Chain A
């Protein structure tokens, strides 16, 4: 039927094309629910925030909490660590970002980052590596105390999750 020699499409051709097009649209629309069902469901979305009391995190300490099934590092940096970070040149980094941009005003010592290596998803070790930040044992990425990638295969800094201080002591992640 497709190789008919008529110059202009006949009524018959139009009917075949219309039927095929409508069937194709229907099939495409029917696929969506089967794809969308694998997205996070309503109960998973509802659990997307976690509240943490950060007053108990001592200087130098890293606390790991779970948020959306992933570890989140909360690190209270010491003045010494802050000094070292201030001395670093953010522009020379692979993923240039200043430390101030990664913390909340008034709580500069407190860093909150998602504890998942941006290379292939392993959990980096705290207080380790050449820059006294984090070190990923899987493929050797070194992060500084701001969670920024300094050396190794990881392409980006440890991401900062959306969070806010609901009071001076409590942080709400998500």
Chain B
């Protein structure tokens, strides 16, 4: 997508099209000739896997809407109608519900890969920020999608999350009433969530296009964290990356299908098979697993507004990550201290996830506070300081030099 293309389609008809709309040239430059670093490992296949999951969610979602009814009186029954009567409806619905979880598994791996190899550093700041925007949009989409089956967790999840906005001083309550379109989560809320849940995935697709555009301008980072210097450092996207990504996708599909077909309700909550009842709150309200770390951060702060700020801050901090990390070296391979702190952060994240699923009482709260503090400490203190005090290992001269050195070691 960057620079002037020298490609001309070989056949007369495609050349005729290309001279009028250079879409063939664009596809060729982006997905065939595009130079990819030759040292990418399998953690780099998650970009392709995420694109695949976006398509899966879009297609299954459009199918589900053909049978779903966004009305409080009929939503729950219409989902059960899909599960029981619609041809392959159970497959569509389970694929969409589990697909959301798979999407988040893949995006968390993708984000952590970016953190580990320093993919957010110059010149990839915009690329990274677009990624965080996609992540935020995914969270909003997933949250609103979870409301649609109109089960107990749908209803109470919607109530709790929309109530977060009531923490805003002065205008909080009017905002919440505006969000609801009434005085509680009810039919107007369900209708607008449905509308937005249908809209946002297309917004995600548009931001993904920007993300890919930015990627093609700056080029991919790689495990060595050094920039491409010559043609020698790269291979053509097709067939090299295409085949590798395809293999990664196929293996990921096996993982996806394992849950989809054999334990499709594992990542859901049993209470969401009880129809929403505004009069009875379930004993433990928990969000879907992918929100648990942020939910734990929310609950760790004893102040209502403070909790909300901490939760949104946990994501906001990612936007400025490129400027918090002061080290010039990208890849954690050559940053012995950073590498350790990275894994500590992963453990802290998993720990927060576990704590988010537990009742907010006793030792769980104390543990949440410690881990929340560490989360912010990592980004706001460790990363800036580490760049100044850490002595990185020597970085390879080029990607090819890295590859040759590695092959020589075998």
On whether the two chains bind one another, the answer is yes
A residues adjacent to B (C-beta < 8 A): 1, 23, 33-34, 36-39, 41-44
Interface of B is mostly: helix
CB of B269 closer than 8 Å to a CB of A: no
Q: Contact check, B59 vs A37: say whether CB atoms are below 8 A apart.
A: no
Q: Contact check, B88 vs A37: say whether CB atoms are below 8 A apart.
A: yes
Pick from B81, B84, B87: contact of A37, CB below 8 A: B87
CB of B86 closer than 8 Å to a CB of A: yes
- Bound-state Cα–Cα, A1 to B67, Å: 45
- Bound-state Cα–Cα, A23 to B246, Å: 10
| Distance to closest chain A CB from B83 (angstroms) | 11
Q: Contact check, B85 vs A41: say whether CB atoms are below 8 A apart.
A: yes
| Distance to closest chain B CB from A23 (angstroms) | 8
List 14 A-B pairs, Cβ < 8 Å: A1-B239, A23-B246, A33-B87, A34-B59, A34-B92, A36-B88, A37-B63, A38-B66, A39-B87, A41-B81, A41-B86, A41-B89, A42-B84, A42-B86
Q: Could you mark each residue 85-122 of chain B with 1 if its beta carbon is under 8 Å from any beta carbon of chain A, else 0?
A: 11111011000000000000000000000000000000
B residues adjacent to A (C-beta < 8 A): 59, 63, 66-67, 81, 84-89, 91-92, 239, 246
Pick from A1, A23, A33, A43: contact of B88, CB below 8 A: A33
Additional A-B contacts beyond A37-B66, A41-B86 (12; CB < 8 A): A33-B88, A34-B88, A37-B67, A37-B86, A37-B87, A37-B88, A39-B87, A41-B67, A42-B84, A42-B86, A43-B85, A44-B85
| Distance to closest chain A CB from B247 (angstroms) | 10
Interface of A is mostly: helix
B residues in contact with A36, CB < 8 Å? 87-88
- Bound-state Cα–Cα, A104 to B86, Å: 35
A residues in contact with B88, CB < 8 Å? 33-34, 36-37
- Bound-state Cα–Cα, A37 to B67, Å: 9
B residues in contact with A1, CB < 8 Å? 239
| Distance to closest chain B CB from A40 (angstroms) | 8
Q: Contact check, B89 vs A37: say whether CB atoms are below 8 A apart.
A: yes
Least CB separation from B87: chain A residue: A36
Closest 7 CB pairs of A and B: A33-B88, A42-B85, A41-B85, A43-B85, A36-B87, A41-B86, A37-B88
Least CB separation from A23: chain B residue: B246
Least CB separation from B84: chain A residue: A42
- Bound-state Cα–Cα, A34 to B67, Å: 13
Q: Contact check, A41 vs B63: say whether CB atoms are below 8 A apart.
A: no
Least CB separation from B239: chain A residue: A1
